[in-house]
Amino acid sequence: MKKWSIILVLFFFIAACSEEKELPVADVYQIHNLGTLATTEYTFGKILQLNDNKEWYKLGDRKILISVRAKVKAGVDLQKIKPEDVVVSDETTVTLRLPAAEIVSFEMNPSEIRTEMSDVNGFRMEFSQTEKIKILKMGEESIRHDMMESNIIKDAEKNARVFLTDFYKELGFETVNIEFKPDLK
């Protein structure tokens, strides 16, 4: 009796080890629970220069030079994926329709904002904090314009494609097709 019990246990053990597990479609869709997938980070630097021109009624001159840096992250918001955006064609192929990549983080760290040069002569006053904040806002607008002219969005989509392809291949899929929905902004 013990001999048959051992053979039966071995049979079930071997059968359980050799059996391929099929991944349910619902589990494949769970990628949306990852949230935002930030795949690209750029650092933008800007030198801001303001020459407060001499007016006929102002005696003296004011100049200021401020350097700023911004860290910008781009990626894909996976929470925007709907169940119909994940299609499992057969046991080896999955197709994903992802939302367009977007800027997910923009940070101008105050410790990386520096007044490089300030020159005030004549009867002029130093630049006030309010004036410096206005200059920084102009710098932020300029950096935001530059980042949209850069390849940050394309790089974010490319990196998301690589990450998700590797992710699904680890799950056992041989073919992973990834499409990006057009940006509707």
Q: Which two tokens stand for residue 149?
A: 């002219």
> For the chain, how are helix, strand and coil distributed in percent, rounded to 5?
40, 35, 25
What amino acid occupies position 23? L
Q: ∠ at Cα 117 (113, 120), nearest 5°? A: 125
Asked if the structure places residue 152 within a domain, the reply is yes
10 lies in some domain: no
Is 106 within a domain?
A: yes
Q: Range of 104's domain?
A: 23-180
Residue 122 lies in a domain: yes
* Residues 136-146 pLDDT 10s: 898 999 999 99
pLDDT digits (tens, 9 = 90+) for 60-111: 778 888 999 999 999 999 999 998 898 888 888 999 999 999 999 999 988 8
pLDDT digits (tens, 9 = 90+) for 44-66: 999 988 877 666 566 777 888 89
Residue 147 domain-assigned (yes or no): yes
Full-prediction pTM beyond 0.75?
no
pLDDT value at position 125? Answer: 79
In the block, residue with structure tokens 């401020």? 66
What's the pLDDT at 55? 61
DSSP type of residue 101: P
**Between 47 and 125, residue with greater pLDDT:** 47
Say if 14 falls within a structural domain.
no
Q: How many domains does the chain have?
A: 1
Residue 4 located in a structural domain: no
Q: Residue 135 domain-assigned?
A: yes
